[in-house]
Amino acid sequence: MIDFFLAPFVDFAFMRRALAGCLALALGATPVGVFLLLRRMSLMGDAMSHAILPGAALGYLAFGLSLAAMTVGGILAGLAVVLLAGLVTRSSVLKEDASLATFYLLSLAAGVMIVSLRGNNLDLLHVLFGSVLALDDASLLLIAAIASLTLFGLALLLRPLALECFDPAFLRGVSRLSPVAHYGFLALVVFNLVAGFHALGTLMAVGIMILPAAAARVWTRRLGPLLATASALAFASALAGLLLSFHADVPAGPAIVLMCGLAYLASLLLAPDGVLAARLPARSHLES
């Protein structure tokens, strides 16, 4: 049994690198997912994950599978979509979700077309679903750097972000930090989606952000424990997904997201604020 859990990581360097990359994502991307959940912007995270695809695809078209080119392209494309969606929202009758959905669909279609111009189906699968088992040292350093930047940014913006989650009108009324917190947070979302893109691809990157956050939300309502629980669930799901991929010979990225989904379903059933607890009859406070 010990060999089942430890042997893949002891014997194979690519499994250790994959686990290290998932740990960095759990520490960086998952806390961002918690704030997306609290701000009721979970689907926006999915839209933005596709928004980085054209920039990454242009980097791929120009330089091949270049880490730097695809990273810079993805970040620029994601930030451009955020700014354009905000501009459309302020200058038209469309709400932010509608403008983001429009740009997300255009970005996804454009990205797939750009990759198809030069690459083959294997390259397209690499871009869409990632290759967490093929992470090299440069990719690991990039993901770790983004995770470190994210933790620093969240610590710096924690108070205004928390206020904006629960009462954005109050924050706008008492502080000038509201736009700084809003756009700074969106920038962190883009950076972490780019980090997740290198490991899990554009279609899977948002899974490790949102699913552990949703699972943790039914266990606790306090922000600090919520962030810690979400990160722990993300790392545990990534570990289980890598083991499933290794022993069952299935793709690692989808396996990790599937384990995140199973953690969410288990939490939804078993947690104190979950489905089963809500169906249990309430006991009187006078009963022993």
Model confidence pLDDT, tens digit, residues 61-91: 777 777 788 888 888 888 887 777 767 666 6
Could you tell me which residues come within 8 angstroms of residue 246 by beta carbon, excluding any fewer than 6 positions away? 8, 15
Split at pLDDT 50, 70, 90, the class of 271 is confident
pLDDT value at residue 28: 92
pLDDT at 241 over 90: yes
Which is more confidently placed, 84 or 15? Answer: 15
Compute the distance between CA of residue 139 and CA of residue 59 in angstroms, rounded to an integer. 15
CATH-assigned architecture of domain 2-271: Orthogonal Bundle (1.10)
Given a contact cutoff of 8 angstroms between Cβ atoms, the answer to whether 100 and 36 are in contact is: no
Q: Which of 15-19, 107-111, 284-288 has the lowest mean pLDDT?
A: 284-288
Domain boundaries, given as residue ranges, for the chain: 2-271
Q: Which of 94-98, 146-150, 247-251 has the lowest mean pLDDT?
A: 94-98
- What interhelical angle do 223-248 and 2-11 show, nearest 10? 80
Given a contact cutoff of 8 angstroms between Cβ atoms, the answer to whether 171 and 163 are in contact is: yes
DSSP 119: -
Which is more confidently placed, 283 or 267? Answer: 267
- What interhelical angle do 96-118 and 67-91 show, nearest 10? 150
Split at pLDDT 50, 70, 90, the class of 288 is very low
Q: Which of 85-89, 103-107, 155-159 has the lowest mean pLDDT?
A: 85-89
pLDDT at 237 over 50: yes
> What is the value of pTM for the model shown?
0.84
Given a contact cutoff of 8 angstroms between Cβ atoms, the answer to whether 31 and 189 are in contact is: no
pLDDT digits (tens, 9 = 90+) for 191-236: 998 888 888 887 788 889 999 999 999 998 888 899 999 999 999 9
